[in-house]
Structure 1
């Protein structure tokens, strides 16, 4: 077990494993997202209150869930990098950050579009919306730190510290609807209770959520592979792989 983890934590071992896994993740993501979109937009019944405008839920909810999950994954990677100096963890965190920022923006934008027919406005300084906006600023801060500091090591440490400090915002996002009076509706999925929607509405949503997580894995594996090649360009195995060696 430890031998496998040690091999997985090495850039060369991860590069080889991700080469086998990434095509499957891309394929699953395409099938699940494509199927979920067709099912949700074309065949799920309209909501009895919101009509067809509710269908944006099939993009909004998966994007919001993934935005928070990516940030937690980045925080864990940052902790591994700071404590154990595993450089692959920083490579993975670097690969995740742009997708996390994109998903946060998508969640905010789709929520604003949904808010027009539901609340009558694009934006409210609602606790859930405000904490999601803070999450976007945290992502932007992480990306800016990685590009602003002089050395890669100092940039990695600063980005990891910011990520770990900012992770306190994740439970605020999750429980903001319960802690404060907000316009935002409660969570669509709950482990302890049955879904509020009928099965023909929440099943395609579940498919979309799974598809977005497969997309996250596919993008992370692919971008981490590119990051490995960029940072390990002087290694013999990379030079042999790219044909740039002696």
Structure 2
């Protein structure tokens, strides 16, 4: 609990985030670059889709992050509402634009992939529609936070929306199992074994890890900015600005 309360302290978090940032940025860039190179260049073509399948090395990590980020926002939102932690509020505000970007990327790459596979850019498929709703939820969190002038009230309202909207995450994940959809079923997260050859799977996992570290780095940078703006008149901010 002591560590938990320390992490909720803006000065402590500011110092911790500054130390962690380079340790996240460098592996994120290296892993993402290797995953893309191995997947786009060295992985063998799919026996049905040919080289068109290679877009999964962008699409799947982006789709994974779209769900992960929103779930993390809902958890942070609950912490913000229960314990009134400024750092948790900052996470919700800082993560929303990043999560929206990943969701938009997942939708765009999914449409590009769907054109040669389904013969159309878009269908009102259960998976695609619920993912689009997720993008609207992200945009709703961003809009709600900007619509309320008082920062802490805005953060609490955005946190509440994040918690309410998290019900859409399992709908997205299980949509291909609950309904008859054009979107293919799970290939990696299966109970028996991944339905993908290892030479294709490894770059995909590395890309997903690289994207996750990239998100962690970006959200730390944005959280530091959010906290500095909100605590601009505090003593610790003045001291930090003198010795950044």
Which TM-score bucket, shorter chain as reference?
A: over 0.9
- CA distance in 1 between counterparts of 2:149 and 2:18 reads 31
Match of 2:49?
50
Match of 1:22?
21
Given the superposition, is the C-alpha separation of residues 191 and 16 from structure 1 closer, same or farther in structure 2, using an over 3 Å criterion?
farther
- CA distance in 2 between counterparts of 1:221 and 1:39 reads 28
| CA shift digits 1:201-235 (9 cap, x unpaired) | 01100000000100011011111111111111111
Match of 1:111?
110
Match of 1:84?
83
- CA distance in 2 between counterparts of 1:168 and 1:38 reads 36
- CA distance in 1 between counterparts of 2:117 and 2:3 reads 51
| CA shift digits 1:143-195 (9 cap, x unpaired) | 00011122222211221111111100001000000000000011232152211
Number of aligned residues: 243
Match of 1:200?
199
1:225 aligns with 2:227: no
Report the 3-state secondary structure (helix = DSSP H, G, I; strand = E; otherwise coil) of the residue aligned with 1:162: helix
Moved over 6 A (4+): none
- CA distance in 2 between counterparts of 1:15 and 1:167 reads 28
Match of 1:153?
152
- CA distance in 2 between counterparts of 1:18 and 1:75 reads 21
| CA shift digits 1:49-96 (9 cap, x unpaired) | 111010000000000000000000000111011111111100011110
- CA distance in 2 between counterparts of 1:152 and 1:4 reads 26
| CA shift digits 1:104-142 (9 cap, x unpaired) | 000000000000110000000000000000000000110
- Once the two structures are superposed, the pairs formed by residues 1-246 of structure 1 within 5 Å of their partners are 2-190=1-189, 192-243=191-242
- CA distance in 1 between counterparts of 2:55 and 2:192 reads 23
Could you list the runs of 5+ residues in structure 2 that have no partner in the other structure? none
**TM-score, normalisation: structure 2:** 0.97
Contact kept in structure 1, 2:107 and 2:132, CA below 8 Å: yes
Report the 3-state secondary structure (helix = DSSP H, G, I; strand = E; otherwise coil) of the residue aligned with 1:183: coil
Could you list the runs of 5+ residues in structure 1 that have no partner in the other structure? none
The Cα RMSD (Å) is 1.1
